[in-house]
Amino acid sequence: MNTPIPHADAVLRNYINGEFISSAMLFDNINPVDGSIINQVAEADKTMVDDAVMSAKRALKGEWGQLSVDQRCALLHKVADGIEARFDEFVAAEMADTGKSFFQATTIDIPRGAANFRIFADLAKSQSTECFHTHTQDGSKALNYAVNKPLGVVAVIAPWNLPLLLMTWKLAPAMAAGNVIVAKPSEETPATATLLAEVMHDAGIPKGVFNLLHGFGHQSAGEFLTQHEHVDAVTFTGESRTGSAIMKASADGVKALSFELGGKNAGIIFEDCDFDEAVAGTARSVFTNGGQVCLCTERLYVHRSIFDKFVAALKDKAEQLKIGWPLDQSTDMGPVISHKHRDKVVAYYESAISDGATVVTGGGVPKFGDARDNGAFVEPTIFTGLSEQSKIVKEEVFGPVCHITPFDDEDEAINMANDSRYGLAATVWTTNLQRAHRVAEQMDVGICWVNAWYLRDLRTPFGGMKLSGVGREGGVHSLNFYSEPTNICIKL
């Protein structure tokens, strides 16, 4: 059952100042399911990046800047309507670019892509500011109040694992706050961003407010964009190393930065957990989207009294996963994003085996005997037996893999979980309410789930500590980042 091919035999173009523009530099968009070429993509050069940024800068002072919050948000609702009207096209594009299952694309990625515009549009209409009525030293009074202004030109750089969802997670609050956008999707997943540009165009978003550039990072559109003197802010989701490079590139301009970066997330499973729920929830947190979610769990710490039982149960869950074609309704897991990334994941598998790991299940590349053998599939994998200093325990793999370590007491588990350069997410499985609160509070992470995973209220703060990021996204936290408050003091 093959993956549908959106925009077949077409060139995915850049969108600048309300026009779709190609270029002389084209690169292939590869389907990770079978290695076939989906289409070609027009890479933006430095001049096109400059055109996009300057068109956005002009739009900030033009029609867009004159619209009221209600008018802006009404347009964002039209964008959400446009995504839903072309739902099947977005699903096909998402599956072709990523190889993810039909179930995930239709129930998570595309619905959330539309919902983000509605959620932040509605939140923006109720965004509040401070106001203080004070007495002055001379006996008079003063009124201090704040007004929110947009930051200006915002560079939005989105990753390949959840292409539409994470692009719109940034676009929606930035636009609701009145900013203008130059967006760059990952070179691995250009299709849904291109469709989104078409939706923006048809929804009547004024020229220059939303611009889309295709390309790579180093010495390409990404680097040109983050270094541009007229970009006022950069928001990025992706690797910690790339975030560091963007931070350096943005330093001279002192740009506002929002980064959601990598994770080496830990899960702690106590002996008093609901065992079946813990196994099922952990299987989700390890293997969802082939482990290619920043929130996925790669390190598990299981109480010694249930360690062997838990390892066996998680092994059964992993071996029940069906790896296959995206459109097959029974498919649980697709390929990783590319052959390059597959090779990286397999290299970590080989490193773990070389270090003396016990391979509980997986550890290699599956064979199908059909076109999928040309794709980028890897086996869901579980390791045990390594020290906490082993490479696969310390470094982010971003694949369908975990290492499981036993522990004897609560403090030991907390210390091992927190012994990481990353601090994005954690899970805790226990039926002891006091322990749940006590342990969750001690996790050095931006979000800790208790007896759940990936359960999200989009109004809550989301982000990481240490190498996992800078700042918080979600609800008013996003709107506040994309807004520049000006205090106005009036002597009465």
The percent of residues above 70 in pLDDT, for the chain, comes to 98
* pLDDT at 7 > cutoff 80: no
CB neighbour class for 24 (10 Å; exposed up to 12, middle 13-18, buried from 19): exposed
Shared-domain flag, residues 149 and 278: no
| Catalytic one of 273, 294, 296, 448 | 294
Query: Is residue 3 situated within a structural domain?
Result: no
Residue 191 contacts residue 6 (beta carbons within 8 Å): yes
Is 283 inside any structural domain? yes
Rg (CA), the chain: 24
Q: Using DSSP, how many helices (H) and how many strands (E) does the chain show? A: 17, 23
Q: Tokens 């690797």 identify what position?
A: 239
Same domain, 253 and 378: no
d(CA 73, CA 302): 47
Range of the domain at 147: 11-261+468-491
Kindly state the DSSP code that residue 108 receives in the 8-state scheme: I
Are 276 and 242 members of one domain?
Answer: no
Q: Does the annotation count 260 as an active-site position?
A: yes
DSSP secondary structure letters along 332-379: -B---S-HHHHHHHHHHHHHHHHTT-EEEE--S----SSGGGGS----
The string of pLDDT tens digits covering residues 155-197 is 999 999 999 999 999 999 999 999 999 999 999 999 999 999 9
**Residue 4 falls inside a structural domain:** no
Q: Using the predicted structure, report yes or no on whether residue 435 has a pLDDT greater than 90.
A: yes
- Give the C-alpha separation, 285 to 271, whole Å: 19
Is 296 an annotated catalytic residue?
no
* Distance from C-alpha of 274 to C-alpha of 281, rounded to nearest angstrom: 10
**Dihedrals phi, psi of 328, to nearest 5 degrees:** -70, 120
Distant-in-sequence, close-in-space partners of 123: CB < 8 Å, separation ≥ 6:
173, 176, 459, 475, 476, 479
Contact 453, 297 (CB under 8 A): yes
Q: How confident is the model at residue 4 (pLDDT cuts 50, 70, 90)?
A: very low
Among residues 187, 260, 379, 473, the one annotated as catalytic is 260
The domain tally of the chain equals 2
Characterise 254 by phi-psi region: left (phi > 0), alpha (psi -120 to 50), beta (else): left
Same domain, 229 and 281: no
What percent of the chain is predicted at pLDDT more than 90? 95
- 342 and 225 co-located in one domain: no
Q: Is the residue at 463 inside a domain?
A: no
Q: 213 near 14, Cβ under 8 Å?
A: yes
10 pLDDT tier (thresholds 50, 70, 90): confident
Residues 284, 428 within the same domain: yes
Same domain, 483 and 406: no
**pLDDT at residue 5 greater than cutoff 60:** no
CATH label of the domain that carries residue 427 = 3.40.309.10
Q: What is the pLDDT of residue 385?
A: 98
* Pair of tokens at residue 26: 């084209």
pLDDT for the residue numbered 251: 86
Residue 137 sits in the same domain as residue 223: yes
pLDDT of 442-468, one tens digit each?
999 999 999 999 999 999 999 999 999
Q: Return the exposure string of 374-384: e unless at least 16 CB atoms fall within 10 Å of the residue's CB, then b.
A: ebbbbbbbbbb
Q: Are residue 198 and residue 300 in the same domain, yes or no?
A: no
Per-residue pLDDT band at 1 (split at 50, 70, 90): very low
Q: Does residue 65 form part of some domain?
A: yes
Of 314, 233, 229, the C-alpha closest to 273 is 314
pLDDT at 413: 98
Average pLDDT, the chain: 96
Pair 427, 289 in one domain: yes
Q: How many CB atoms lie within 10 A of CB 131?
A: 10
Q: Is the pLDDT of residue 9 over 90?
A: no
Position 382 in a domain: yes
> Quick check: is 462 in a domain?
no
Q: Is the distance from CB of 293 to CB of 336 less than 8 angstroms?
A: no
Residue 224 resides in a domain: yes
CATH code of the domain covering residue 480: 3.40.605.10
188 in the same domain as 142:
yes
Residue 2's pLDDT is what?
A: 47
pLDDT, average across residues 473-479: 96
Q: Which of 41, 46, 53 is nearest to 220 (CA)?
A: 46
Nearest to residue 156, comparing CAs of 130, 189, 181? 181
Mean pLDDT for the stretch of residues 89-103: 97
Residue 480 and residue 435 share a domain: no
| Residue 252: predicted pLDDT | 86
Residue 352 has pLDDT above 80, yes or no: yes
